[in-house]
Amino acid sequence: MPDEAAGFREEDFREFVALRSKALLRTAYLLAGDWATAEDLLQIALTKTFLAWKRLGHIEAVEPYARRVLVNTATSWWRRRWHGERPTEILPEGAAADQLEESLERDAMWRHVRALPNRQRAVLVLRYYEDQSEAETARLLGVSVGTVKSQTSRALATLREKLSAEGVRPAVKSQPARPPTTPAPPPVAALDVPDLPVIEEPEQPFAEAEALLPADTAVEKPVEVEV
């Protein structure tokens, strides 16, 4: 990587995208709940990161900046949807995304996490999937640490209630979420960014949260799907 004085090259940005877009897209999917919106969120985050590339100062600041933009963009999207933005019929394309979503739908834990209110879901994603501290989660969401604690407590209480009520019964498959219309991001192709990779299934993203549930709570595990 070039030093700070020389500034960043576009080649460095392309390398960053190739190395980290997979993880960022996973996070976007967990925040948004569907692939179409997740890809939009990631495109916007990468575009803003590219525009801020030279002023970030050092390479260690790039991914935290991209992740912060991703969370902020997701938060703005939730607010637009909350204020009545009309949903569309757009659903994710591609067999890999369809198979992954079908697999996750069979996971009772994920199904109930996705049904949580937006902020509660975001807190669980950042705390247990991204492994962020309470302080960093609060900073990313623009709330207090106390809010993070209370939202985490409420989210886990909801999961306990839902999963305990289900017991050993098979989970009922829900319908895929319909993403709202999102503003079209600047074309990343113009930045000569590599195509986004096919995303594999996250490995037990909420295993730590599951461990906090009662010992007698039955949680269905996702079925293995070949992608």
List, for residues 58-85, the tens digit of each pLDDT value.
Answer: 767 788 888 888 888 887 776 665 444 4
pLDDT digits (tens, 9 = 90+) for 15-25: 888 888 888 99
DSSP string across 102-133: HHHHT-HHHHHHHTS-HHHHHHHIIIIIS---
Tokens found for residue 89 = 């019929």
Nearest to 131 by CA among 212, 222, 205: 205
pLDDT digits (tens, 9 = 90+) for 149-193: 999 999 989 988 887 887 634 333 333 333 333 333 334 444 444
Listed by start position, the domains of the chain span 1-90, 94-174+202-222
Mean pLDDT of the 134-158 span = 91
Q: What pTM was computed for the model?
A: 0.55
Q: Considering the chain, what percentage of its residues have pLDDT values greater than 90?
A: 10
Q: φ and ψ at 108, to 5 degrees?
A: -60, -40
Tokens found for residue 10 = 């576009």
Class of domain 94-174+202-222: mainly alpha
